[in-house]
Amino acid sequence: MPECFYSWCGNSMNAPRGYISSFLPSFPIVAPLFAISLAMNYPLAFTSLAVAVAVCIAVCRHKASFRAIPGPPSPSWIFGNMLQLWVSSPYGKYEFAWLKEYGNIYRLKGCFGQDRLMVSDPRAVQHILNSVNTFRISPILETLLHTIQGPRGIQAVRGEEHRRMRTALNVAFTASAVRQYQEIFEKVARTISSRLEAASEDVVDVCHVLGAGTLSAIAEVVLGRSVEELDEELVQVLSIIAVQETRHTPGSVIANALGALLPQFSLLKHVVSLLPILGLLRKTRKLATRLGTQVIEEKAAALENGMDPGDDLYAYLLRQNTTLTKEDIAKQTVILLTGGQDSTANTLTLGLLELARNPELQEKIREEIQSMTNSSHDNKPLLNALIKETLRMYPLEPLVERIAQRDTVISLTESISTMAGERMDHVPVHKGEVVIVGIASYQRDKSRWGENPDKFDPLRWVDGRVVKGEAIGPYANLLSFFGGPRTCLGWRFAVLEMQTIFSELVGKFSFALAEGEPDDLCVQLAVSLQPSDAKGNKVVPLRVTRLL
């Protein structure tokens, strides 16, 4: 392939040639031609690429609404700032520097020179998340959701059907409903304690232990089944997914950009559906739905025969006689198992890592837990401050992209200055333009979270540094559980689970960094934000010592 092509990628990112080959087949129409041309010779391949680029240029030629807004320089025409944003390690290496330099509204360059608007301004974020019909997810993400959950999954349905299903499911996630799962969480927390105590080594990978523990919790709370009663193949694939290499790559960045530019080409979505990880996810959906159907049928039969179906979430939904069919409930099994396991485990793991880095803070929280054993978890300020601060620093989904479905205007909390020095208190957005909601950036806004927002400091939640502004997210004004009509249904469930497990573990064990090992653990963006060592492995080895 001609050298001029590689120069377009931008020297600063040093994109390997293998990446270029990986993303080209993602382009609709050109993909088959490119595959054939590779088998024959490079000239035709380059012609195919030229056609693809020409189409992109034609699509991008309209004048962007964001051109007057300041932003960082682009190191690459093909990738723009997207590799810096999505693929950097640790996550936020560039994004948080841009936040300090340009504020909470700035322009980024997307792939092929397309402008994108990066948004962490509170009023703008709230508007975008609430306007689900104006700002939609990308076609690529829509395909992924359908592949993972099926067309009846709560995150895959849209409009009135989503509202109906969400209202019906919500009865099992109210504050009173969630409290009934307390005993199950306590049982699971004790099981995790036993596993830590039984570990043959002092240094334990808490990622693995907590992943297994949260799977136990979600299985018992949702299905009324222990992990041992689950299908062995399902447990195996869930374990694989928990550690699967699913980080963003230059290829995935390009595919997503083309999906936003050319949403009318359904072939692109079919190409994405062939990604290897999705085969595993389809298998997980099949196994989980089969299990959910079996459990629902058994519990429905028990109710019809006047028997007790159990105290789990599915039994609760059946007792409530909601508008959900048995099939509707069974179809949610895959998202409840996968989302409920990995998200909570990651937050717990990162919280323990931060406590290992701060022994003094760890001891203060331990003293509170041990002195308030008979109190409600909600009455333990330091314990809850730990949870809030972990969620603030490490939101599982730090970025979300939305595509405008019509021309609209986004109002801002404070006016910004354009490159020409003019002030603007709103940003016009044209149909088809992409905005990126920076959840991680929003949660590092000094005006909202107080001094040193880049520092992990749970005490900010008890000393008055956190500003009580207009509520955007459902918990502590954070967006870690998202916001708007698509706020995570299970946020109370997750908070109670974390309260219970943190209370059990920190009350009984001390956690320290492994001696003689460099503290090179960080977070990287995969399907969600997750802990990682220097080699990219999802592991967090900590020295665990029993105290009680």
DSSP for 394-454, please give it: S-SS-EEEEEESS-EEEEEEEEEE-TTS-EEEEEEE-TT-EEEEEHHHHTT-HHHH-S-TT
Looking at residue 40, what is its pLDDT? Answer: 38
Do 112 and 55 touch, CB atoms closer than 8 A?
no
Alpha carbon of 198 to those of 195, 201, 211, 393: distances in Å?
Answer: 5, 9, 17, 31
Residue 450's identity, in one-letter code, is G
How far, in Å, CA of 399 to CA of 439, rounded?
A: 6
pLDDT single digits (tens) 127-152: 999 999 999 987 777 777 777 778 88
274 burial class (0-12, 13-18, 19+ CB within 10 angstroms)?
Answer: exposed
Residues 6+ apart with CB under 8 A from 133: 159, 405
Looking at residue 321, what is its pLDDT? Answer: 76
How far, in Å, CA of 144 to CA of 51, rounded?
A: 27
Looking at residue 112, what is its pLDDT? Answer: 87
Count of positions (residues) in the chain: 548
Looking at residue 244, what is its pLDDT? Answer: 60
Residues 6+ apart with CB under 8 A from 376: none
Sole residue written with tokens 């509204």: 105
- 406-409-411-414 Cα dihedral, nearest 10 degrees: 130
Beta strands (DSSP E) in 168-263 are 203-205
CA angle at 105 for the pair 474 and 55, rounded to the nearest 5° = 105
CA nearest to 247, candidates 120, 97, 90? 90
Phi-psi sector, 114: left (phi>0), alpha (psi -120 to 50), beta: beta
User: What Rg value do the Cα atoms of the chain yield, rounded?
Assistant: 24
CA atoms within 13 A on the CB side of 142: 15
Residues in the chain with pLDDT values less than 50: 1-48, 50-51, 54, 58, 61
Do 81 and 75 touch, CB atoms closer than 8 A?
yes
Do 345 and 210 touch, CB atoms closer than 8 A?
yes
Looking at residue 148, what is its pLDDT? Answer: 76
How far, in Å, CA of 389 to CA of 494, rounded?
A: 15
User: Domain residues of the chain, as ranges?
Assistant: 1-61, 62-546
CATH number of 62-546: 1.10.630.10
263's tokens:
């949403």
Looking at residue 257, what is its pLDDT? Answer: 79
How far, in Å, CA of 413 to CA of 310, rounded?
A: 49
Do 527 and 340 touch, CB atoms closer than 8 A?
no
φ, ψ for residue 267 (rounded to 5)? Answer: -60, -35
Instruction: Please tell me whether residue 385 adopts helix, strand or coil conformation.
Output: helix
- Cut 0.75: pTM above it: yes
Q: Does a cis peptide bond (omega within 30 degrees of 0) precede residue 16?
A: no
58's tokens:
């034609």
> What are residue 523's DSSP bridge partners?
531
Say whether 488 counts as a known binding-site residue. yes
